A = this chain, B = another copy of it.
Amino acid sequence: MAKKSGKTTIHDIAYELGLNASTVSRALADNPVVSQKTRDLVQAKARELNYQPNRIAAALRRGRSDILGVIVPAIDRAFFGRVIRGIEEKADKAGFHIIVCQSYDSAKRERAMVSTLQRLQVDGIMISTAKDKEPITDFYKQLMATGLPIQFFDTMPAGLDAPAVVIDDELGGFEATEHLIKAGYERIAHLRGPQHIHIYHDRYRGYVRAMTEAGRTVDPRYVIDIDSHFDSGEEAFVQLWNLPQPPDAIFSSSDYSAAAGIKASEKYGIRVPEELAIIGFANESFTEIITPKLSTVDQQTRTMGRLAAERMIAVVTDKNALQSLERRLVLAPKVIVRKSSQR
Residues of chain A whose beta carbon lies under 8 Å from any beta carbon of chain B? 52-57, 59-60, 65, 67, 74-78, 80-82, 84-85, 88, 92, 97-102, 115-116, 118-121, 230, 256, 259-260, 263, 266-267, 284-286, 288-291, 302
Contact = CB atoms under 8 A, between A and B. Distances in A.
A76 B65 contact: no
Contacts of A74: 85
A74 B85 CA distance: 7
Contact of A288 (B100, B230, B289): B230
A259 B88 contact: no
B55 A120 contact: yes
A285 B287 CA distance: 12
B56 A289 contact: no
A75 B65 contact: no
Contact of A76 (B59, B85, B101, B288): B85
A131 to B, nearest CB: 17
Given A116-B97, A121-B56, A263 B284 contact: no
A60, A76, A101, A290 interface centre (most CB from chain B within 10 Å): A76
Given A85-B76, A121-B56, A256-B289, A99 B98 contact: yes
Given A288-B230, A290-B259, A121 B81 contact: no
Nearest to A262: B291
Given A81-B78, A121-B55, A290 B290 contact: yes
Contacts of A259: 286, 289-290
Contacts of A75: 75, 81, 84-85, 88
A285 B256 CA distance: 10
Nearest to A147: B5
A98 B60 CA distance: 19
B88 A81 contact: no
Contact of A263 (B56, B81, B121, B291): B291
Contact of A59 (B56, B84, B88, B256): B56
B98 A100 contact: yes
A151 B82 CA distance: 25
Contacts of A97: 99, 101, 116, 120
Contacts of A289: 230, 256, 259-260, 263, 286
16 contacts: A52-B118, A54-B121, A56-B56, A57-B60, A60-B60, A75-B75, A75-B85, A81-B81, A85-B102, A88-B100, A88-B102, A99-B99, A263-B289, A263-B290, A266-B291, A286-B290
Q: Which of A52, A75, A82 has the most CB of B within 10 A?
A: A75
Contacts of A82: 76
A116 B53 CA distance: 9
Contacts of A99: 67, 97-100
B119 A54 contact: yes
A117 to B, nearest CB: 9
A85 B120 CA distance: 20
Contacts of A284: 285-286
A284 B287 CA distance: 13
Contact of A56 (B65, B92, B101, B115): B65
